[in-house]
Amino acid sequence: MVIGTAISNALMMARCWASRQTDAIARLCGKWNRARAALRGQLLGFANSSTHSRPRRMQRRGRPEDQRFRLWHRLYLRCTADEIDTHANRLFPDSIRYQNTSVNWSKFGPPWDVIFDNPECGIVQFLVTQLPSELPKEGTQPDFKLQSFRPHHVPEEENYAHSELWTYRGDERIPRGTSHKLVKKEFRTLMSDRGFIILRPQVDRATRSDFESTR
């Protein structure tokens, strides 16, 4: 009994240590990309198709899917001003899609590719290792099969880095709309906690929609 408790405590301490290290790495990567985005914005601005050709790196050009994600790879989420809690410097949890969330993968381009054609939007960064797993942490029956989130490369013809966050139960992908309500709530809360804002948005969702309708 004593040995079992000691092992359990040691594992808990190891997980806490690993979590702190991951948070530190995420902040370091976030600060670096925030500086890159700020410099890019000052020197060149952020492009749209009415003034610039889409970069060659963004074009698919027949390239296949690539599912070789690494834990330290970054995922970039586009956001608008009304989705940001400026007091807490984080995304509002309810603004985060809980299924098939669209992101860009750092392997195939810089953060600002995710706002191409949307230069007034902001960018939030996550590490792959920060994606929630084994949810929910509480409030379900013992036989409930926990759900996890993993990135999946879903390239588009004009955005090869495009990926989505898919929901899984074990190795089985969960169909859209069938996630447990506690999973949705915890996923949104964790993503809000873990996201790092590397570029603040200058436009809210309504203004962006009005702008796009007039283009």
Number of domains within the chain: 1
**Radius of gyration for the alpha carbons in the chain, expressed in angstroms and rounded:** 19
How much is the average pLDDT of 30-47?
94
> Whole-angstrom Cα distance, residue 56 to residue 40?
18
Positive or negative CA dihedral for 138, 193, 160, 107? negative
Torsion angle of the four alpha carbons 75, 58, 155, 73, in this order, in degrees rounded to the nearest 10: -20
Contact 162, 156 (CB under 8 A): yes
> Whole-angstrom Cα distance, residue 167 to residue 101?
10
> Whole-angstrom Cα distance, residue 192 to residue 47?
27
> Whole-angstrom Cα distance, residue 40 to residue 36?
6
Q: Mind listing the pLDDT tens digit for each residue in 76-104?
A: 999 999 999 988 999 999 999 988 999 99
The backbone torsions φ and ψ at residue 48, rounded to the nearest 5 degrees and listed phi first, read -140, 165
Its pTM stands at 0.86
Q: Mind listing the pLDDT tens digit for each residue in 106-127?
A: 999 999 999 999 999 999 999 9
Element (DSSP H or E) covering residue 10: helix 2-43
Per-residue pLDDT at 213: 45
Q: The domain containing residue 28 runs over which residues?
A: 2-213
